[in-house]
Amino acid sequence: MSNSKLQQPVVRHSPSRGPSSPDVWGIYEPDTGSIQYICADPATKKAALIDVVWNLDPKNYRFSTGSMEQVLNLVQQNGLSVEWILDTHPHADHVMASALLKERIGAPTAIGEKAPDIASIWAGLYNLPDAFDPARDFDRLFADGETFRIGDLDVRVMLSPGHTLGSITYVCGDAAFTHDTLMQPDVGTSRADFPGGTTEELWDSIQEILTLPGETRLFVGHDYGTDERDEPEWEATVAEHRAENRHVKDGTRREDWIKLRNERDATLALPDRILAALQINLRGGHLPAAEEDGNNYLKIPVNRF
């Protein structure tokens, strides 16, 4: 849940630092504490959208597109052309806008190649054996180490499991979109207790991320603020994390972090949108097919969690 102090959308531009360095815009979505990203090649004005939110009111189960429209307005204002619609993993805390974005702008959608393995776990939990087919609902399923381009910029895919078994990091020049692995240095790291997640794998993923060059800008998936900080933050360098991250700075022992993370995760409730969000996100952002009355319905497991 978002910190009550962080209740307004915030947009910040992290400018390119030179050749092979992208322009990055972060767009903070306060209802879920999510950060959406635009990653753009300054030379060609080609861009990718990463982890864009389709807003869901969990009290009334009504959708709206304010966050998506904000992202698309920034694209237009900066003269960008979208080549990719990317997600880092099937999100538990927000609904992805990928399918709506594809309908609007026509760019292909992509996620990691292990999304079908995540879908298999949740198909069992929902007792929906034939509901999810990420290979059908995403245009690309990226493998670990695979590369693609945004304009003239090379992007490398890193498998970064732990939060989910199929989470991926996108590394574009001196920018890496690290999703739900790290939080900001003054917060620490993300949870690893969802089905298929493990603290051991999350530790290994974080350590791999922290071997990137020290000047690499790491863009995290969420921020909920702190008692000391009233503004959301989402960018810090590898060097800053290695020096200051309260959970995994240099010198931290693996076994100490695993104990801390497991104890912390045991106190956390499920995100309030998870059981709705995953049914949609594992369909690439599509609602279940409308039933004979023309309405869409979600299936909610009872006493499973």
Token pair listed for 302: 């009872």
Bridge partners of 222?
Answer: 34
What is the sign, positive or negative, of the torsion defined by CA atoms of 100, 105, 106, 112? negative
Token pair listed for 100: 């709506």
Return the closest-CA partner of residue 247 out of 233, 235, 262, 234.
Answer: 262
| Domain-located, residue 96 | yes
| Domain-located, residue 234 | yes
pTM of the predicted model, to two decimals?
A: 0.96
CATH of residue 46: 3.60.15.10
CA-atom Rg of the chain in angstroms: 18
Return the closest-CA partner of residue 68 out of 38, 33, 97, 26.
Answer: 97
Res 5 pLDDT > 90: no
Q: How many domains in the chain?
A: 1
Token pair listed for 195: 């089905």
Question: How much of the chain is in helix, strand and coil states, percent to nearest 5?
Answer: 25, 25, 50
* SS3 at position 172: strand
Res 80 pLDDT > 60: yes
Stretch 268-297: mean pLDDT: 96
| Domain-located, residue 305 | no
| Domain-located, residue 158 | yes
| Domain-located, residue 131 | yes
Stretch 239-247: mean pLDDT: 98
Stretch 72-93: mean pLDDT: 97
Host domain of residue 115:
10-281
Token pair listed for 257: 């972090």
Distance CA 305, CA 293 (A): 31
| Domain-located, residue 224 | yes
| Domain-located, residue 41 | yes
Percent of the chain with pLDDT over 70: 98
The pLDDT tens digits of the residues spanning 137-195 come to: 999 999 999 999 999 999 999 999 999 999 999 999 999 999 999 999 999 999 999 99
| Domain-located, residue 2 | no
The pLDDT tens digits of the residues spanning 159-175 come to: 999 999 999 999 999 99
| The pLDDT of residue 184 | 98
The pLDDT tens digits of the residues spanning 22-52 come to: 999 999 999 999 999 999 999 999 999 999 9
| The pLDDT of residue 6 | 65
How many CA atoms are closer than 13 Å to the CA of 51, on its beta-carbon side?
Answer: 31
Using the 8-state DSSP alphabet, how is residue 182 labeled? B
